[in-house]
Amino acid sequence: MTNLILVLRNIKSIFPSNRSYSKNFKKLVDNRFEINSLTDYEVQSIWKAYDISKKAHSQQRRRSGEPYFNHCIEVASNLVKWDMSSDVIIAGLLHDSIEDTELTRENVINEFGNDIFNLVDGVTKLSDIKFNSREQKQAENFMKMFLSVASDIRVIIIKFSDRLHNMQTINYLPLIKQRRIAVETRDVYAPLAHRLGMWNLKAELEDLVLKTLEPKIFNKISRKLSTTNKQMQKYIDEFSFPIDLELKKNNISYLIKGRSKHKNSIYNKMNKKNLSFSEIFDLLAIRIIVPKLEECYATLGIIHQIYTPIHERFKDFIATPKINGYQSIHTTVFGKNGRMFEVQIRTREMDKTAEEGVAAHFAYKENININDRDSINKHVSWLRDLVSSLQNEENNPKEFLDLLKIDLYEDEIFVFSPKGDLFQLKAESTPIDFAFHVHSQVGFNCITAKVNGKIVPLNSSLKSGDHVEILTSNNQTPSMSWLKYVKTAKAKNHIKRWIKRQQEIESVQLGREILDKALKKIKKTKLITKISENPKDLGFSNIKLIYTALSSGKITVSEIISKYLDSDLDLENLDDESLTSKFIRKARRIAKGVVIDGIENTMISFGKCCNPIPGDSIVGYITRGRGVTVHRGNCTNIPSSSNLDRMLNVEWNVGNKESFMVRLKILGQDRKHFLKDITESISGLNINLVSVDIKAKEGLATGIFILQIRDTRQLNRIQNKIKIINGIIDTQRM
């Protein structure tokens, strides 16, 4: 460590001798000098930020009672430990200043320039994003956050530091707020830190989350670790001793580290694999750090000469790095008494990247070199691709959230193209996923695949090391069923966008055919010119939207023609719609359609056998030539289980406060006040009665009641109430 006196001498050479510097500032700068020397200008700038931030927060205190400025120091100190540049350290000192003090945008720009202001402003905007809201709002907030990350990765690194210190001091907050912040950290910040390769940060955040949400479990694991650490170290020392001798004999300088398991990892393994604490420590691990890449492989050879390797557990992440930049050789061997040891071998640079991830490539450099910039781009390219692809279409935050979860939480596999090019995919990816990673057009046209020289179905799962060849045809197009088994965000996004475009084309064609046929029927084909020139008369910006609305049942031919036709024609039979079909169409219009595997589908049809309406449990079936047919879940006409590949998840697209219509057939004795008793029961439950149709024959009354209700539970309540009315024989949903 650089001598503190030398550091202070450097500072004194810059500032007037009569100026006093706080202990915290000296410590901050001293730690920074330990990593790499600072220029005089950088020291001045850090001091200026330190001084301004301290004055701005001088009247503020944290929940613990300590000065708020202490938090700013801790945030900056974390950034120093992560070797960040002086600009990032300055932004860390100022990260809460604009939001929480009288310091203004202009103040920061005038003192430190636009770049540092943009960093501070970016952190402020991230701090405003809350993730505990309802799903759609949460999805929108995820999208905002990741747009920020994709534009400047330094912003999230500062936010990571802020979140880390907040988690370290979370015990001073009310319990309900502790839980909210801990859950947000578990679901958002820890997975993102992992995805960006910041393993140490991820591990510490997850341990702090466990300590907050499950304090008894955390303390129990901590106690067990403290009692077993000595024994574990003894095993590691015995295992390492012969390796140590051979490395010295071969003149390889090295550092051997024991790999401590973090508490949350232990808890997850005990939970998910139903293992005891002792079973988890059956596999011990060490890490060997060497100076040069070629010495990694030399060390591997030495270890395999001493101990018996388990070949199926060998992984070379140096030759095939993980998607977050991680590089290392992993080998598992049998030590004494059959105890297994996992050994990780890597260079110092690889170790730094493994522990600090994307932050390692910023280091203390103001001007990042080409190699570091390439590494940073690899870390965030997956995110930029995802954001870019979604920005090309209508922003759909819910879809973004679904795709993001795929990319954040999945493991990786490595497969090869016929030319030997390496592709990184999510675990259990299919040939379709591979095809879309090669090129979108290859994905659209893929008909089958060869894996390791053998023809396989498109829904087969790929494994690391597979050689994959895609066979294509210009006549092939994506199928809705592909969405059931593709794994990658890129493939899902391409397929959904293609299906949506095709549905738009088909709905326009269908609407045009319906309207043309109707106009020919009344011999008014020239009316199409008037409709085309004045679509706003119907509330649409162009005629294509009119066609789409017509094909999806949102408007009728009669409504269109009556709007543009001057004379009074009999349009009663033009739509060829019965009372029942009008009711069903209106009910479906309220629902705004259905969502099929996340796609708001305009080109669907409803099974006439069961006439599903909102509130019913429904399923979708891919009908060749007619898109997707929606049936009630209990419909007897749903095709057999042998066609499961053509079944899709379908749900109504109904808002929380929206109601839907339902038809009830009520059978009872024809008596006085029969209708009055039923309507009073309905109104007593605050349910809107839309229409009634009652017929009586031979002492039996049959009523068709159309009601507007919120959900099926409300429907069950009204049915139960009607059943106890005197003379009621039966009530059933139609």
Residues 552-561 have pLDDT tens digits of: 667 777 788 8
The residues, ordered by sequence, that sit 6+ positions from 251 with a Cβ below 8 Å of its Cβ are none
Q: How confident is the model at residue 396 (pLDDT cuts 50, 70, 90)?
A: low
Helix (H) or strand (E) holding 347: strand 340-347
**pLDDT tens across 647-661, in order?**
777 777 766 556 667
Q: What percent of the chain has pLDDT over 90?
A: 18
Whether the predicted pLDDT of 6 surpasses 50: no
Which residue, 120, 119, 208, is CA-closest to 169?
208
Q: What is the mean pLDDT of residues 564-587?
A: 56
Rounded to 5°, angle at Cα 470 from 467 and 472 = 170
Provide the residue ranges of all domains of the chain, joining segments of one domain with +. Answer: 4-216, 221-361, 577-658, 660-733
SS3 content of the chain, % helix, strand, coil (to 5): 55, 15, 30
Which whole number is the average pLDDT over 259-276? 79
What is the C-alpha separation between 192 and 207, in angstroms, rounded? Answer: 15
Higher-pLDDT residue of 422, 306: 306
The amino acid at 103: L
* Between 625 and 711, residue with greater pLDDT: 711
pLDDT band at 370 (very low <50, low <70, confident <90, very high): very low
Per-residue pLDDT, averaged over 419-444, amounts to 87
The catalytic residues are 99-100
Between CA 213 and CA 215, with CA 214 as vertex, the angle to 5 degrees is 105
CA distances from 573 to 359, 544, 569 (A): 70, 25, 11
Q: Regarding the domain delimited by 221-361, which CATH topology (the fold level of the hierarchy) does it fall under?
A: Beta Polymerase; domain 2 (3.30.460)
Percent of the chain with pLDDT over 70: 74
The pLDDT score that the predictor gives to residue 16 is 38
CA distance 71 to 230: 35
Q: Judge whether 59 and 18 are in contact, CB under 8 Å.
A: no
| Domain 221-361 and domain 660-733 have a common topology | no
Q: What 3-state class would DSSP assign to 334? A: strand
pLDDT at 10: 43
Residue 73 backbone dihedrals phi, psi, to 5 degrees? -65, -45
Residues counted in the chain: 734
The CATH code of the domain at 660-733 is 3.30.70.260
Query: Span 224-234, mean pLDDT?
Result: 81
User: Is pLDDT above 80 for 236?
Assistant: yes
What's the 3-state SS for 590-624?
A: HHCCEEECCEEECCEEECCCCCCCCCCCEEEEEEC
**Confidence at residue 682, expressed as pLDDT on a 0 to 100 scale:** 84
Confidence at residue 90, expressed as pLDDT on a 0 to 100 scale:
93
For residues 91 and 116, the answer to whether their CB atoms sit within 8 Å is: yes
Highest mean pLDDT out of 168-182, 400-414, 610-624, 719-733: 168-182
Q: Which of 196-200, 260-264, 363-367, 663-667 has the lowest mean pLDDT?
A: 363-367
- pLDDT score for 570: 52
pLDDT of residue 518: 79
pLDDT band per the 50, 70, 90 thresholds, residue 130: low
Domain 4-216 has CATH 1.20.1730.10: no
For residue 46, give the nearest of 61, 59, 27 by alpha carbon: 27
Lowest mean pLDDT among 326-330, 566-570, 700-704: 566-570
Q: For the segment 168-214, what is each residue's pLDDT rounded down to a tens digit?
A: 999 999 998 899 899 888 887 888 888 777 888 999 999 999 999 99
The answer to whether residue 75 scores a pLDDT higher than 60 is yes
Nearest of 374, 326, 373 to residue 198 by alpha carbon: 326
Distances (CA, A) of 609 to 342, 520, 632, 643, 734: 61, 30, 9, 19, 12
State the pLDDT at residue 134.
47
* pLDDT band, residue 257 (cuts 50/70/90): confident
Question: In the prediction, which pLDDT does 26 show?
Answer: 60
Looking at the predicted structure, is the pLDDT value of residue 229 above 50? yes
CA angle 474–477–480, rounded 5-degree value: 170
Look at residue 11 in the predicted model and tell me its pLDDT: 39
pLDDT in the model for residue 398: 54
Query: Tokens at residue 531, please?
Result: 């409709």
| pLDDT bracket for residue 379 (50, 70, 90) | low
pLDDT of 698 reads: 75
Residue 298 CA to residue 178 CA, distance in Å, equals 49
pLDDT tens digits, 397-424: 555 555 555 455 456 777 888 887 778 7
Residue 253: its pLDDT value, please?
92
- pLDDT score at 589: 53
pLDDT in tens, 454-471: 988 898 999 877 899 999
Q: Is the pLDDT of residue 142 over 70?
A: no
